[in-house]
Amino acid sequence: MPAPRDANMPLSFAQERLWVLDQLVVDRSAYHVSNLTRLQGPLRPDLLARSVRQVVRRHETLRTTFVEQDGQPVQIIHPDLACAWTFQDFRHLPQEEREQHARQWAVAELRQPFDLTTGPLLRVSLLQLAAQEYVLIFTMHHIISDGWSIGILKEEVSALYAAFLHDRPDPLPELPIQYADFASWQRAWLQDAVLEDHLAYWKRKLTGFSPLLELPTDFPRVPRQEMHGKRLYFSLPEELSQAIRNLSQQQSVTTFVTMLAALNVLFFRYTGQTDILIGVPASSRNHNLLKKLIGIFVNTLVLRSDLSGDPPFLQLLHQVHETSTGALAHQDVPFEQVVEMMQPARELANSPLFQVMFAFQNAPRSGLSLPDVEAGFFLRERETTVFDMTLLMWDVDQALQGAVEYDASLFRDDTISRMLAHFQVLLQAIVTTPNVAISRLPLLTSPQREERLSQATVTRVTHPAQTVLDLFVAQARRAPRAIAGISPTDTITYARLDAQANQLARQLRKHGAGPDVLVGLCVNRSCQMLVGLLGILKAGSAYVPLDPDYPQARLSFMVEDSGLSILVTGGNNAADLFPDYAGSLIDLDADWPRIAAESSADLPLALAADNVAYLIYTSGSTGRPKGVMASHRGLSNYVQAACRQFDLQPTDRMLQFASLSFDTAAEEIYPILATGGTIILRTDAMMASARTFLEQCATWKITILDLPTAYWHELVAQLETDPIPLPDHLRLVIIGGESANRERVASWQRAVGDDVRLYNTYGPTEATIVTTWQPLVAADAARPIIPIG
């Protein structure tokens, strides 16, 4: 029923949202709808312009502007409002430049903002490239149009042009209703019980949703979405396209549902997230009277998929089918009201509820059909985008074709190309083995996997066959007076450390120490600890660190489980910690006079690369301590790699932070001793606060910190609330032990930048300290998972 025109008309819900967005967004051209067509033949520009004018007279939306009255937007329908028609002749340009100028014109036309208050909101440009070659550009604001409307516009222009060319009258039947009638009806119908029923459905579906699809980006997400878009076209092979159609038919679902389910799998594999929301446009032209109207009817549906439990693809496929069927049954509730109901955190950096749109086009894709004129596509770069990514697909002829529109401020071109290649491999795997769990569906072909593996194994580094002892002794010979270790109560040179380690080694040999014999070491953090470590290694044995702060029961278990026959202690009460120990006990305090009587000369030693260097107890997967051995080969391999990677120098001063019972302590100690640097042994007192910690590091002129990620998180949080200058000499911070928090990485980059290098490391104890490392830069703060190398 047509609504009365005696007052200004209300906006539809979709129009109201676009009216608001037009005032908020930086790039208003993101909400422009455009279409480019190449025309070849004896075109009559005058008749084309006349046909467009007639379509404008026919559709009120093309004569509508929008203003605010009493705080509310209203639409004003003008009896006569001509569209902006431009004719531009490029034939004076060199032929090879004409197409480029046409593309530049098209980009400028798309980016030129509309004024919603004055209109017109339709612009038409006709560019002449040759005697019988043109480019026709339609540009409309989304507030009066959608993708379906472009098809209607071209269809009606075609019919009118053909009639006018042959001197026939307007052949189009009068429209029984206009868009404003729909807007008034929608406002009246969608309220009370009807609205409540729809909203209740969406609330059930979206409660507890994950607010952000954390696709790994190439560039950090800026605080305000820039909407700088690009578009990449692709086509699936015909054989694969038909296999997708066949699978869809076999499972009684549409091709759209199969492609959407596959897209969910792709994002699951890229992000690890199992709660994925993807936006889908619905034409929402559910009545025949609406199918011939130009206007914005399209509504956005949010389809949520649950990929937890690693389901087989077919199971996910039917879940997506059920979800899409339910969503279509409730498509009349405007997306704007769903957003308002769910109240997601409003971020100008990304769109609410979802960041990826998938459109399987079913709008009429009719092109212009003008007598004696051939119409074809004229492609140009997409300059704007509303979402992080939009996947558009068409079922055309034999092949499924598509395009990806993406935010170029987030993704590089090669990243999108790689993602599309992964998607094609994934689709091939799906049609071949649809019952496989989604985590096992490949993203790489077999040759690609083999190539990646070969690339990962060819970059081998051959280290000299030296143990950490060889590296340390070389430094002791090079600079004997250099300081090897500093504690609050003692300072030890390389010469003294080497000599005392030799003396301890000789004493240990008298108690049965030798290759692969385990020797316990239970000392406080001190220079004495360094003597104990090197003395045990110089005796040819492997040390088992026993933290004196551990409970007695745990210490007793470790001693018994490892079968220790020799135990080195110092600075603590061994009788209290090991009351039942019956093996050889060497106290570095009480027994030092006897140890000091030994020769300080080097011992003859022939360690094999596979001899054990240390045994460290981890918590174990069951909670019971588990002993893990590290060989001299593994330890030397790590130490030499770290010296090279971190460019360690004799001037470096490393804070020894970790308990000796963690292999991080080996990460702190041996690379420094191998390069002639100084180990600074931290105190408990400096841990009183972040400020105290950093001030003490500054006093000691620390150049390298190796910190547990958890403590680094606390330090960065403190830097945010109480800015504290970092030590002047600090050049490198290494973190590891657990996942780094994105917000903390971002905070660090804001506060420190690249002035101090930050490395994220990872490695199980079984792999000897560290297996991967990654320098963290500002862009990494935008990644869903902070890289470890």
CATH of the domain at 540: 3.40.50.980
pLDDT at 452 (0 to 100)? 67
Tokens representing 240?
């694969």
Is it the case that residue 248 has pLDDT exceeding 80? yes
Query: Measured between alpha carbons, how far is 505 from 499 in angstroms, rounded to an integer?
Result: 10
Split at pLDDT 50, 70, 90, the class of 28 is confident
CB 560 within 8 A of CB 549: no
Number of structural domains the chain divides into:
3
582-592: per-residue pLDDT in tens? 899 999 999 99
CB 33 within 8 A of CB 384: no
604-655: per-residue pLDDT in tens? 877 788 899 999 998 754 567 888 899 999 999 999 999 999 999 999 999 9
Phi, psi of 650 (to 5 degrees): -60, -20
| 148 plus 284 within the same structural domain | no
User: To the nearest 10°, the Cα dihedral for 157, 163, 168, 174?
Assistant: -40
Is it the case that residue 460 has pLDDT exceeding 60? no
Query: Measured between alpha carbons, how far is 197 from 184 in angstroms, rounded to an integer?
Result: 20
Q: Which residues pair with 374 in a beta bridge?
A: 40
Residue 659 lies in a domain: no
Q: Residues 757-765: what's their mean pLDDT?
A: 84
Residue 210 lies in a domain: yes
Domain with residue 167: its CATH number is: 3.30.559.10
Tokens representing 3?
């609504």
Q: Residues 119-143: what's their mean pLDDT?
A: 96
Q: What is the DSSP string of 391-457?
A: EEEEEETTEEEEEEEEETTT--HHHHHHHHHHHHHHHHHHHH-TTSBGGGS-SS-HHHHHHHHHHHH
pLDDT at 458 (0 to 100)? 47
Q: Which residue has the higher pLDDT, 245 or 147?
A: 245
Q: Which residue has the higher pLDDT, 538 or 229?
A: 538
Query: Measured between alpha carbons, how far is 774 from 780 in angstroms, rounded to an integer?
Result: 10
Q: Which residues pair with 612 in a beta bridge?
A: 631
pLDDT at 348 (0 to 100)? 60
Please give the single-letter amino acid code of residue 250: Q
Average pLDDT over all residues of the chain: 89
Residue 114 lies in a domain: yes
Tokens representing 190?
């969608």
Q: Which of 456, 485, 509 is the last residue of a domain?
A: 456
**What is the span of the domain harbouring residue 431?**
202-368+380-456
Domain with residue 333: its CATH number is: 3.30.559.30
Give which of 475, 473, 768, 504 is closest to 610, Cα–Cα: 768
| 154 plus 244 within the same structural domain | no
CB-based contacts of 463, cutoff 8 Å, min separation 6 = 636, 637, 640, 641
Residue 422 lies in a domain: yes
Split at pLDDT 50, 70, 90, the class of 193 is confident
Split at pLDDT 50, 70, 90, the class of 364 is very low
Tell me the range of 215-219, 235-239, 688-692 where mean pLDDT is highest.
235-239
Angle (CA) 624-735-752 rounded to 5° is: 155
Q: Residues 113-126: what's their mean pLDDT?
A: 95
| 481 plus 628 within the same structural domain | yes
Query: Measured between alpha carbons, how far is 726 from 756 in angstroms, rounded to an integer?
Result: 9
Is it the case that residue 371 has pLDDT exceeding 60? yes
The 10 Å CB-count burial string (b at 16+, else e) for 183-221 is: bbbbbeebeeeeeeebbebbeebbeebebbbbbbbbebb
Complete edge-to-edge strand list for the sheet that includes strand 518-523: 584-587, 566-570, 518-523, 542-545, 612-618, 626-631
| 166 plus 279 within the same structural domain | no
Split at pLDDT 50, 70, 90, the class of 183 is very high
Three-state DSSP class for residue 556? helix
Q: Which residue has the higher pLDDT, 43 or 352?
A: 43
Please give the single-letter amino acid code of residue 315: Q
CB-based contacts of 424, cutoff 8 Å, min separation 6 = 236, 240
Split at pLDDT 50, 70, 90, the class of 574 is confident
Give percent of the chain with pLDDT exceeding 70: 93
CB 281 within 8 A of CB 299: yes
Is it the case that residue 761 has pLDDT exceeding 90? no
Is it the case that residue 237 has pLDDT exceeding 50? yes
pTM, entire model? 0.62
415-424: per-residue pLDDT in tens? 999 999 999 9
Q: Residues 204-213: what's their mean pLDDT?
A: 89
Residue 255 lies in a domain: yes
Give percent of the chain with pLDDT exceeding 90: 62
Query: Measured between alpha carbons, how far is 426 from 268 in angstroms, rounded to an integer?
Result: 12
Q: Which residue has the higher pLDDT, 377 or 63?
A: 63
pLDDT at 718 (0 to 100)? 85
Residue 776 lies in a domain: no
Query: Measured between alpha carbons, how far is 134 from 89 in angstroms, rounded to an integer?
Result: 9
| 494 plus 578 within the same structural domain | yes
Contacts 24+ apart (CB under 8 A), 282-286: 282/327, 282/328, 282/331, 283/146, 283/148, 283/362, 283/363, 284/331, 284/332, 285/148, 286/332
Residue 723 lies in a domain: no
In angstroms, the first-to-last Cα distance of the chain is 65
Is it the case that residue 502 has pLDDT exceeding 60? yes
| 530 plus 560 within the same structural domain | yes
| 245 plus 388 within the same structural domain | yes
| 260 plus 206 within the same structural domain | yes
| 471 plus 443 within the same structural domain | no
| 173 plus 211 within the same structural domain | no
Three-state DSSP class for residue 50? helix
CB 534 within 8 A of CB 568: no
pLDDT at 224 (0 to 100)? 60
| 387 plus 470 within the same structural domain | no
CB-based contacts of 60, cutoff 8 Å, min separation 6 = 77, 178, 179, 180
Within its chain, how far is the Cα of 287 from the centroid?
42
CB 404 within 8 A of CB 359: no
Query: Measured between alpha carbons, how far is 125 from 123 in angstroms, rounded to an integer?
Result: 7
Q: Which of 400, 431, 456 is the last residue of a domain?
A: 456
| 447 plus 527 within the same structural domain | no
Q: Kindly state the helix (H) or strand (E) to which residue 271 belongs, with its residue range.
A: helix 255-271
pLDDT at 789 (0 to 100)? 62
Tokens representing 470?
């060889």
CB 232 within 8 A of CB 403: yes
Tokens representing 356?
């990826």
Residue 770 lies in a domain: no
Q: Which residue has the higher pLDDT, 466 or 162?
A: 162
Q: Residues 221-240: what's their mean pLDDT?
A: 82
Split at pLDDT 50, 70, 90, the class of 360 is very high
134-173: per-residue pLDDT in tens? 999 999 999 999 988 999 999 999 999 999 999 999 999 9
Q: Which of 456, 484, 514 is the last residue of a domain?
A: 456
Three-state DSSP class for residue 688? coil
Query: Measured between alpha carbons, how far is 537 from 614 in angstroms, rounded to an integer?
Result: 9
Residue carrying structure tokens 């000091």: 596
